Amino acid sequence: MRAAIYTRVSTEDQAKEGFSLDAQLKRLEAYCRARGWTVAARYVEEGQSGRTVNRPAYRAMMAAMEDWDLILVMKMDRIHRNSVNFTLMMDELRRHGKEFNSLQESFDTTTAMGRFVMDIMQRIAQLESEQIGERVHMGMQKKARDGDLHLGSAHPYGYEYRNGELLVVPHEAAVVEKMFHWREQGLSYQRIADSLNQASVPSKRGGAWSRQSVWKVVNNPLYKGYRRWDGMIGKGSHMAIVHDSMGLPQS
């Protein structure tokens, strides 16, 4: 069995508690000798957080899977402090026929018990991920109802998003009012787009207007002081650009 030894420290305190890089390497190398494993490579991570996968040594190790059969760490939190990231790693290892071993927790996927524990951990991580998603969704719903949530483009035409607020851009707001006025008069979206382009009025990104971009403005409740999200339309806390004389567009 070819082992990829992975070691990590992120703070001086961890080193003082016996998690120094040298201490980890020595114990893991001794463990490999006891198990009759070959040390295929040593991946050393210093000053890196275990809550992200964007670590140089970790990424190099995962990119070199053909060179080893198993990842060996001192403790599971040396490689990941996030259960979702850990589960994603284990899924990738399983797809490539690789194993994982944590010396201190005796977590070893080469055994039946280790694989059973892995299944339990995956279910826990999935539950955690789904619960986080539910909490985020509920929080956004409440903010949408309260008018506290900025939704959609970071800088919708007619507004700019600054310090958590939507602020009106006067020269763009005048164009928005004109677009709504033309639409009330019965002009088509394409005719409005053509008129803006002929007058050399740029879109938010400086390009030409299209039928679709005009439609998005005229049918956006944002300009009447409302917010639309997840099938709901609620009163926003920002300033409206046009009067709500035509009623809200359909959600």
Find the Cα–Cα–Cα–Cα dihedral 58, 63, 69, 75, rounded to 10°.
10
Which stretches does DSSP call E strand in 81-135? Answer: 99-102, 107-108
CB contact at 8 A, 64 and 5: no
159-162 and 99-102 beta bridge pairing: unpaired
CB contact at 8 A, 222 and 236: yes
CB contact at 8 A, 229 and 223: no
Residues marked as catalytic: 10
Please report how many Cα atoms fall inside a 13 Å half-sphere around the Cα of residue 140, on the Cβ side. Answer: 15
Cross-strand bridge partners of residue 108: 101
Q: What distance in Å separates the CA atoms of residue 129 and residue 117, rounded to the nearest whole number? A: 18
Amino acid at 6: Y
Which is nearest to 107 in space by CA: 92, 120, 88, 91? 120
